[in-house]
Amino acid sequence: MRIVEQYSHLNGWEHIKVHKPDIWEDITAVIDSVDAEACRTKMSKEKTMPGKLIYSCPAFNKQFKEGLEKRGWKSSVVRYWVTVDAKLIRRTVGLPPEEQKALIEDAGLTPLRSSNQTDFVKKRIALEVQFGKYSFIAYDLFVKHMAFYVGDTIDVGVEILPMRELTLDPAGGRAMTTGVPNYEGALYDLIRQGRGIPAVPLVLVGVGA
């Protein structure tokens, strides 16, 4: 595969290139190593293209996972406590989990355990490979990466997405299942929020075959 487009939000790409160039080398090397045609293994059951051989999103994810793990990328979990009081959450959101829990209990409320997990983290850079559904993109960009950033676990979040061209068959029709996200749509959703939202440095990476 290859990088077709990329977008830097709040200087996310610049941070990586200046402070952790080896991380960008990891990302580009793994993308280069993914064999897109080897992932065309799914027989479609959709009404619009029954029996058509299309790309398997889990196959893409498997190749990315193997490549990243070989280079030392690991999953990470951020745990925190929530409650019903919005004002109290504003006080606790930037604190360590044990302090969050204590403040909620001191206020006479019930702390509820919650967490966010990201698939790949290395040197305070979080990376998500998103060949799933459109809805997962918004969660990654506006919730997951933000939670890790606010928790001082990462400095930048990276999102790898298929270009729209990858989801379409040059011979006509689709090359992936309906609902798979694309770089162009994610870029639009990100930019329309404004220059400073979300308040976490990000890099969108659009890949093609």
Q: What is the pLDDT of residues 46-66, one digit of tens each?
A: 777 788 888 998 999 999 999
Q: Whose CA is closest to 204, among 12, 1, 74?
A: 12
In the chain, helix, strand, coil percent, each to 5? 40, 25, 35
Question: Alpha-carbon distance 60 to 166, whole Å?
Answer: 12
pLDDT at 172 over 80: no
pLDDT at 171 over 80: no
Q: Band the pLDDT of 44: cuts 50, 70, 90.
A: confident
- Show Cβ contacts of residue 153 under 8 Å, excluding neighbours closer than 6 positions: 76, 78, 121, 124, 126
CB distance 116 to 140 below 8 Å: no
Question: Alpha-carbon distance 36 to 124, whole Å?
Answer: 28
Starting from the edge strand earliest in sequence, which strands make up the sheet with 125-129, in order? 2-9, 202-208, 156-162, 125-129, 112-122, 74-82
Question: Alpha-carbon distance 36 to 30, whole Å?
Answer: 12
pLDDT at 43 over 90: no
Provide the pLDDT for residue 94: 81
167 vs 172 pLDDT, higher one: 167
Mean pLDDT, the chain, as a whole number? 92
Q: Which amino acid is at 209?
A: A
Output the pTM of the full model.
0.87
HSE-CB at 175 with a 13 A cutoff on CA atoms is 20
Enumerate domains of the chain plus CATH numbers: 2-77+118-208 (3.40.91.20)
Write out pLDDT tens, residues 11-36: 999 999 999 999 999 999 999 999 99
Share of the chain above pLDDT 70, in %: 100
Provide the pLDDT for residue 121: 96
Write out pLDDT tens, residues 121-162: 999 999 999 987 777 888 888 888 988 898 888 999 999 999
Q: Whose CA is closest to 184, among 4, 16, 2?
A: 4
Q: Which amino acid is at 84?
A: V
147 is written with which tokens?
């939670």
Write out pLDDT tens, residues 78-103: 888 999 999 999 999 888 899 999 99
